[in-house]
Amino acid sequence: MFVGDAGTQKAEIEGARSQAETLVYKTKKYQDDIQKLGLGIKQHEDIIKFLRTRKNSIDESILNLQVTIGKYYAPMQPVTEEEEAQSEDETNRNILKLEKSAAGLICQLKTRHGSQVSHSPLVKDVMGIVATLGKVDDENLSRLLAEYLGKNTMLALVCKNFDGVQAMESCDIEGAVNRNSGLHGLGSSIGRTIDGRFLVICLDHLRPYVGKFIADDPQRRLDLLKPKLAGGEIPRGFLGYAVNLIYINRENLSCVTTSGHGLRETLFYHLFSRLQVYRTKEDMMQTLPFITDGALSLDGGIIRSPGVFHLGYREEPEVKFPRISEKSSLPGNYDEIENSLRSKKWNLERLLEDMRKEQSMLDQAKFMFEIKKQEFVRFLAQSSHHAPASLPL
């Protein structure tokens, strides 16, 4: 009996030891499998993160190229060079109709008496009127920008330096405007009077944009940081910044001020700053946290500044920016940019397909991870019922 008891006890010890070893082995196997699946999940997540970063970079490049060649939204019927001239004439005619405005006077002097007054100290430093110094390639955008700036700003006179501002007006010792000098006196000499106040913008006194410009862009658009969502994506429907959607004649792109700055980084950056343009109101409203200096949408939405919304019916502005013909707006390297745009769009499609495949593999890996984790939990629960309390001594 003693010998048999000893044999039985030994067998029990061996069985318990084997069961414990099996438990340890299976536990280790589950842990290794779960760790391997977890590493696989992280690998897929890292790849998707890398692909998303590349996608965001390509998205930004595409947006810059589209703005450069005017394809940032579905274009209207292209304008011919003749229609461009008519649009410019229309802007001038609408300004001339404002007979008692400083802008109307300057417009008349420039268009009808240019050769006679071009060297006059009263107008020689006047570059023009805000509405005549920029063009856009879309009628709707022209109305929106004019509505956003307002009539007084659209009619503001733009001077290169402070001497030009001082020459426009003089006052007597009591501060009253002398109507026999400056623009008032010049207006009287051709039968026009100026009533009320008018805005004058001195380029030399504006704080210019000091950042970089978009590389190889003949329009010298500003390289402003795009608004980014939490994942680094550009918001849906974002078309660009208003300051970059203005077309400026080549002679006004650089070296306009004494410090060598052009109209975009002085006048239009001052007027629009980082005003964002979106395709629809819905797109614009979805990105409110990322709007710092106001926004417009092509279907008529206006946010003047964070928390300040313009509601109600739109009004046709009296004066708006003239339109530009497709031929005039195209850069000299248009074909090269178009080819680059097509290439980047093709790369983006390939990248999106890679992201979809990687996301599918990530979803599968997460599914297998959850299955294996549940199996492990069930195994531990079953093992706790069958495992011996302790090995016999």
CA 155 to each of CA 117, 166, 198, 320, 370: distance values in angstroms, whole numbers, following the listed order: 20, 18, 8, 10, 66
Rounded CA separation 198/229 (Å): 41
What does each C-alpha distance from 62 to 93, 287, 342 come to in angstroms?
38, 20, 9
Residue 7, pLDDT score: 63
Residues 149 and 320 sit within 8 Å (Cβ to Cβ): no
Q: Is the pLDDT of residue 296 over 90?
A: yes
Q: Is residue 274 part of a domain?
A: yes
Q: What is the pLDDT of residues 310-325, one digit of tens each?
A: 777 777 888 889 888 6
In a domain, 122, yes or no: yes
Decide if 16 is inside a domain. no
For residues 108 and 257, membership in a common domain is answered with yes
> How much is the pLDDT for 254?
79
pLDDT at 393 over 50: no
pTM: 0.71
Identify whether residues 311 and 348 lie together within a single domain. no
pLDDT of residue 278: 93
Which of 330, 353, 370 is the last residue in one of the domains?
330
Whether 34 is in a domain gets the answer: no
In this structure, the answer to whether residues 321 and 344 fall within a common structural domain is no
Residue 220 has φ and ψ, to the nearest 5°, of 50, 50
Residue 357 has pLDDT above 50, yes or no: yes
Three-class secondary structure of residue 201 per DSSP: strand
Confidence at residue 229, expressed as pLDDT on a 0 to 100 scale = 84
Residue 148 belongs to what domain range?
70-330
Give how many domains the chain has, as a whole number: 2
Give the start-end residues of each E strand in the chain: 126-129, 157-159, 200-202, 238-241, 276-278, 295-297, 302-305, 308-310
Closest CA to 250 of 156, 329, 363: 329
pLDDT at 164 (0 to 100): 81
Give the span between the Cα atoms of 273 and 56, in whole angstroms. 24
Q: Are residues 108 and 75 in the same domain?
A: yes
Q: pLDDT confidence of 333, banded at 50, 70, 90?
A: low
Question: What does the DSSP 8-state code read for residue 37?
Answer: H
Same domain membership, residue 341 and residue 323: no
Q: Which contacts (CB < 8 Å, 24+ apart) does range 338-345 have?
A: 338/69, 340/65, 341/62, 341/65, 341/66, 341/69, 341/71, 344/58, 344/61, 344/62, 344/65, 345/62
* Statement: residue 267 has pLDDT above 90: yes
Please identify, among 290, 309, 330, the residue that sits at the C-terminal boundary of a domain.
Answer: 330
Distance in angstroms (rounded) separating the CA atoms of residues 78 and 286:
31
User: Higher confidence at residue 355 or residue 391?
Assistant: 355
Highest mean pLDDT among 131-140, 151-160, 351-360: 151-160
Residues 329 and 247 sit within 8 Å (Cβ to Cβ): yes
Tell me, yes or no, whether 304 and 191 share the same domain.
Answer: yes
Q: What confidence score (pLDDT) does residue 391 get?
A: 45
Q: Are residues 239 and 365 in the same domain?
A: no
| pLDDT for res 243 | 95
DSSP SS3 for 190: coil
> 107 in a domain, yes or no?
yes
Mean pLDDT value across residues 26-33 = 82
Q: Do 224 and 346 have their domain in common?
A: no
Residues 96 and 230 in one domain: yes
Show the tokens assigned to 136.
């856009």
CB 165 within 8 A of CB 202: yes
**pLDDT (tens digit per residue) in 68-122:** 666 655 555 556 667 777 788 888 889 988 888 888 888 888 777 655 555 666 7
Q: In terms of domains, do 86 and 101 share one?
A: yes
HSE (CB half, 13 Å, CA atoms) of 66?
18
Instruction: Give domain status of residue 37, yes or no.
Output: no
User: 278 and 212 in one domain?
Assistant: yes
Q: What is the pLDDT of residue 151?
A: 92
Q: Averaged over 241-247, what is the pLDDT?
A: 93
Examine residue 181 and state whether it is found in any structural domain, yes or no: yes
**Confidence class of residue 386 from pLDDT cuts 50, 70 and 90?**
low
The CA distance from 99 to 114, in Å, is: 18
Q: What six digits make up the tokens of 316?
A: 């046709």
Report the alpha-carbon distance of residue 27 to residue 378 in Å, rounded.
Answer: 11
59 in a structural domain: yes
Is 388 a residue whose pLDDT tops 70? no
Q: Are 67 and 221 in contact (CB under 8 A)?
A: yes
Report the percentage of the chain scoring pLDDT > 70.
81
Same domain, 49 and 76: no
